[in-house]
Amino acid sequence: MNHIIKGIIDSSIDLLYPKHCVSCDKVLLKIEKEMGFCKACAKKIKLVGPNYCMTCGVPVNENEEYCSTCQNTKHYFDQTKAIFRYTGDMKDAMYRFKYANRRCYGKTFAWHAMKIYGNWIKGMDFDVIIPVPMYEKKKRKRGYNQAEVFAKRLSEVSGIPVDNEVVRRKIDTVAMKQLNRLKRKKNLLKAFTMVKNDVQFRKVLIVDDIYTTGSTLDEVARVLKDGGVKEVYGLCICTGQLK
């Protein structure tokens, strides 16, 4: 298909809310579209909830302030939050969002981000939203970067601008899931670079799809802070289970 035509079709489809439930893929009723979940799934969605680690955002027990990892680890980001728990149907949803062109989910995720963390997002007075970049070749092959899609939607509802250019991924960090924490860290070193040194961002919100060990966010945060950014926060669509 002609690239321009494909672009026009893609962007017009992109403007619409999801037609199918983000969780179970059932066709949504009109009133369910804004929320993105069918009535049955809306009751079952596993949000992170009010008890989360004050550093990395993973769910913790009621009287805990930090997860066991953050009690012993220093992060480069100042704080990260997440919306949903990466479990059950959300795993399938994230798969479709990443690999099956369900870019429309971005609108749903941004809607929930504002519903839950809207006051925080607005109150923090972020200068810019920066999505975790994808290796350029990989992005061309896949067609889009899901973190960019989420960033764009979040920008629309929050009014905070997006910058997709300031951080670039130099190395394709392949099959990260199979690596342990130490190897991931090693692999990630030098994976990102800040390409514009004339930027004067003071407070940045990095967004990504899934928070696992936090090493990706840490590396992006480190690069930004080396480049003069004072405070770096994160917002992920999903996060791992209770640690």
Q: For the CB of residue 94, give the shortest distance to Zn ion in the complex, in Å.
A: 15
Q: Does 194 bind Zn ion (CB under 5 A)?
A: no
Q: Is 69 exposed, middle or buried (0-12, 13-18, 19+ CB in 10 A)?
A: middle
Q: 213 CB contacts (<8 Å, ≥6 apart)?
A: 69, 181, 184
Residue 90 or residue 132: which is nearer to Zn ion going by CB? 90
Number of residues that bind Zn ion (CB under 5 A): 11
Q: How does DSSP assign 38-97, residue by residue?
A: -HHHHHH--B--S-B-TTT--B--TT-SS-HHHHH---SSSEEEEEEES-THHHHHHHHH
Asked if 144 and 155 touch (Cβ cutoff 8 Å), the reply is no
Binders of Zn ion among 164-193, rule CB under 5 A? none
User: DSSP letter at 211?
Assistant: E
Part in contact with Zn ion (CB under 5 A); list of ranges 31-39, 103-111, 127-135, 147-155: 31-39
| Calpha distance 136→145 (Å, rounded) | 9
Q: Does 38 bind Zn ion (CB under 5 A)?
A: yes
Q: For the CB of residue 220, give the shortest distance to Zn ion in the complex, in Å.
A: 17
User: DSSP letter at 149?
Assistant: H
Q: Pick the binder of Zn ion from 14, 17, 20, 24 (CB under 5 A).
A: 24
> Virtual CA dihedral for 52, 53, 54, 57, nearest 10 degrees?
-70
| Calpha distance 132→15 (Å, rounded) | 22
Residue 241: Cβ within 10 Å count: 10
Residue 24 or residue 157: which is nearer to Zn ion going by CB? 24
Q: Does 215 bind Zn ion (CB under 5 A)?
A: no
Q: Does 110 bind Zn ion (CB under 5 A)?
A: no
Residue 11 or residue 71: which is nearer to Zn ion going by CB? 71
Binders of Zn ion among 46-75, rule CB under 5 A? 53, 55-56, 67, 70
Q: Does 21 bind Zn ion (CB under 5 A)?
A: yes
Q: Does 93 bind Zn ion (CB under 5 A)?
A: no
Q: Pick the binder of Zn ion from 35, 41, 45, 94 (CB under 5 A).
A: 41
Q: Does 206 bind Zn ion (CB under 5 A)?
A: no
Interface with Zn ion (CB under 5 A): 21, 23-24, 26, 38, 41, 53, 55-56, 67, 70
